[in-house]
């Protein structure tokens, strides 16, 4: 068990549930949110996670804007942010917004796990 804290933000509840279950099974401690603004509330009331999986296209806000805010906010500045999107060709725009990595959807769980392990080792 690695018990690394991972926050997942995606407005698709099926992705939140399936990814949450898979990561939980792999030993991660998972918090899942449908809205990007919830990350900041969670961090203020608890502790910082080891990594954040962030969907690029959320219904309430653009994930790239959330990523920029995370990288400007002192408590979350150094947390690895891994952006996800079903839209192709967006890796560079994700990196430009401060993301540490980009995973295309539909994602391969091994890619997700390898990426998380790379940034939380």
Q: Tell me, letter by letter, the H, E, C secondary structure of 57-80.
A: ECCCCEHHHHHHHHHHCHHHCCCC
**pLDDT reading at 1 higher than 60:** no
> For the whole model, what pTM was predicted?
0.93
What is the fold, at CATH topology level, of the domain defined by 5-115?
A: Rossmann fold (3.40.50)
Q: What is the mean pLDDT of residues 32-57?
A: 90
CB half-sphere exposure, 41, CA atoms < 13 A:
7
Cα 3 vs. chain centroid, distance in angstroms? 16
Question: What pLDDT is stored for residue 20 in this prediction?
Answer: 95
Report CA-CA distances (Å) from 3 to 26, 76, 84, 97.
9, 19, 22, 28
- Helical segments of 6-73, H only: 13-25, 37-45, 63-72
- Where are the domains positioned within the chain? 5-115
Q: What is the mean pLDDT of residues 104-108?
A: 89
H or E element, residue 8 = strand 5-9
């Amino acid at each position: 068990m690695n018990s690394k804290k991972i926050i997942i933000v995606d407005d698709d509840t099926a992705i939140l549930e399936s990814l949450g279950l898979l990561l939980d099974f792999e030993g991660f401690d998972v918090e899942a949110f449908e809205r990007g603004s919830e990350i900041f509330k969670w961090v203020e009331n608890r502790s910082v996670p080891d990594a954040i999986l962030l969907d690029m296209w959320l219904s309430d806000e653009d994930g790239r804007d959330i990523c920029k805010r995370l990288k400007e906010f002192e408590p979350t500045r150094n947390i690895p942010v891994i952006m996800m999107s079903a839209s192709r060709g967006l890796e560079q725009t994700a990196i430009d917004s401060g993301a540490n990595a980009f995973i295309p959807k539909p994602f391969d769980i091994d890619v997700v796990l390898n990426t998380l392990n790379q940034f939380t080792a």
